[in-house]
Amino acid sequence: MSRGGSHTPRGFDLVCLQVDDDQVECGSGEAPILVTELKEMISLRRPLKMLLLVAVFSCLLACRSAPEPSSPSLGMVLRTGSFTFPALASVIAPIIKAKGYDRAHGFTLEIVQYGNVSSYYGGLVVGEVDMVPGGPHVFQRMRSEGVPVQITNTYATLASLVVIARDPTLQGIRDLRGKRLAADMSSSEFHILRLISQSEGIDLTRDVSVLQAVPSVARAHLQGGQADAILTFEPTATLTLRDNPGYRIVVNGAEAWRKVGLEKGWLLASIIREDWIGRNPGGVERWISALRDAAAFIEAHPEEADSVVSKALNLPTGVFLQALKEGRIRFDVRQASEEEKSLTEMFAAAVASGYVKYMPKGAIYRLEPPSSDPPAALPGAEGVK
């Protein structure tokens, strides 16, 4: 934000004005609220709380879109976060909407889009959305700081997490020593790569020159020669591989996780606010059913799914389909209680590495006893296939 510039996020009446390097005024325009303590707060030696503070602040200031227009909501409504740029977390919601799986299971899914990761998770923290697909370790940090959320189900495997290299001498993790790696160091994916690297005797923060970069910027660094390899995930991974036939995948997250000796690893899980769960008995079960329907549709009709995803995420046609066929996108929707062992292993690994101090208590949602009557579909869902 330039000095003296104003910014009005879409969907907010809030107006923010940069006063100087340390002050931002936020308010309705008539009665601004002076935020002068942000710098002091950030300097506090509470890194996890600082993360949530920045997430909430970013949520209030960053551009985001209102829920997408849809038919009038009836009954149960679930608001989910999504991104304005291509991301695996944004793939299934458009398919659920396009095929009407939400209404078939008696609820309405509303999609709220965010322009960056901080505002995406910040929206969940402040209750602007009820659910986001997110990394289990991000969830663990949020839970450890008192954010009232639970993991309800698994979503996508670590197959989408890859390291892509342009340097022909790079064959695996050990070859990263002394090389330049572009990666988003604030991401859950980077922490997972750190855990995997430690098992190979490599300390990413000491043995590798890491360039801070979100996936799109990392892709540009690889093209420009500023990086020897990048950490990325789908669908940016497939876009990157299309840039140069000489690029190679040297690390696959799912395969590397198994080499560490852990059974399974998850890139994404559904993270849902506990207040929404409490207000909507049976809602989690309906969400999981719709999610499973969407995952089954992707498997049975990949070309049609590619068309829906390409339009929703503004991707070139065929990118999503290629990632599916090459096995880098794998949706595996399971109740969190069914995968308690693998999730607990991920949490324990994060604690052992020092990424998070505590194991999350009460973190895994337990399904309610099944009702004798299935949930009633909403009007207009009769033609869902």
Q: How would residue 198 be classed by pLDDT, with cut points 50, 70 and 90?
A: confident
Give the model's pLDDT for residue 374.
52
**High-pLDDT (> 90) share of the chain, %:** 53
Same-domain check for residues 153 and 163: no
Tokens representing residue 110 in the block: 């509303």
* pLDDT above 60: residue 278: yes
Q: How confident is the model over 311-340, as pLDDT tens digits?
A: 999 999 999 999 999 999 999 999 999 999
For residues 169 and 308, state if they share a domain. Answer: no
Task: For Cα atoms 65, 67, 68, give the angle at the middle one, nearest 5 degrees.
Answer: 95
Q: Are residues 272 and 255 in the same domain?
A: no
What is the pLDDT averaged over residues 259-287?
Answer: 91
| Domain end marker among 234, 259, 284 | 259
For residue 111, how many C-alpha atoms fall within 13 Å in the half-sphere facing its CB?
A: 22
**Which pLDDT score, from 0 to 100, does residue 368 have?**
55
Q: Which two tokens stand for residue 140?
A: 């663990």
Residue 57 counted as domain residue:
yes
Q: Does 120 share its domain with 269? A: yes
Whether 370 is covered by a domain: the verdict is no
Average pLDDT, the chain: 80
Give residues with Cβ within 8 angstroms of 282, minimum separation 6: 368, 371, 375
The pLDDT of residue 354? 79
- Backbone φ and ψ of 147, nearest 5°: -70, 125
How far is C-alpha 179 from the geometric centre of its chain's CA atoms? 27
- Closest of 95, 97, 107 to residue 69, by C-alpha: 97
Query: In this structure, are 252 and 272 located in the same domain?
Result: no
The reported pLDDT for the residue numbered 264 is: 84
223 pLDDT exceeds 90?
yes
User: Is 147 inside any structural domain?
Assistant: yes
Asked whether residue 144 falls in the same domain as residue 292, the answer is yes
Do 180 and 122 fall into the same domain? no
Tokens matching residue 208: 């590798």
Residue 379 lies in a domain: no
Highest mean pLDDT among 25-34, 163-172, 301-310: 301-310
Residue 324 shares a structural domain with residue 253: no
Please check whether residues 163 and 153 belong to one and the same domain. Answer: no
Residue 302 lies in a domain: yes
Least confident window among 26-30, 154-158, 167-171, 175-179: 26-30
Distance CA 163, CA 290 (A): 32
Choosing from 259, 284, 310, the residue where a domain stops is 259
Long-range own/partner contacts, residues 142-145 (CB < 8 A, 24 or more apart): 142/52, 142/271, 143/360, 143/363, 144/48, 144/356, 144/357, 144/358, 144/360, 145/48, 145/49, 145/51, 145/52
Using the predicted structure, report yes or no on whether residue 359 has a pLDDT greater than 90.
no
Identify whether 342 is part of a domain.
yes
Number of domains in the chain: 3
Dihedral (Cα; 226, 230, 233, 236), 10-degree rounding: 30
- Is 120 a domain residue? yes
Q: Residue 72 above 80 pLDDT?
A: no
Question: In which band, very low, low, confident or very high, does the pLDDT at 188 lie, cut at 50, 70 and 90?
Answer: confident
Q: What is the model's pTM?
A: 0.76
pLDDT single digits (tens) 75-121 = 899 999 999 888 999 999 999 999 999 999 999 999 999 988 888 99
More confident of the two residues 69 and 350: 350
Q: Residue 384: what pLDDT?
A: 52
Q: What is the bridge-based pairing of β-strands 229-233 and 180-183?
A: parallel
Final residue before a domain boundary, out of 237, 259, 281: 259
Task: Domain of residue 181: give its range.
Answer: 159-259
- Residue bearing the bigger pLDDT, 39 or 263: 263
- The DSSP bridge pattern shows strands 180-183 and 266-273 to be unpaired
Do 173 and 187 fall into the same domain?
yes
Q: Which two tokens stand for residue 44?
A: 């506090």
**117, 188: one domain:** no
Cα R_g (the chain), whole angstroms: 21
Q: What is the CATH number of the domain that holds 172?
A: 3.40.190.10
Top pLDDT among 79 and 369 is at 79
Q: Do both 272 and 254 map to the same domain?
A: no
pLDDT at 365: 81
Examine residue 362 and state whether it is found in any structural domain, yes or no.
no
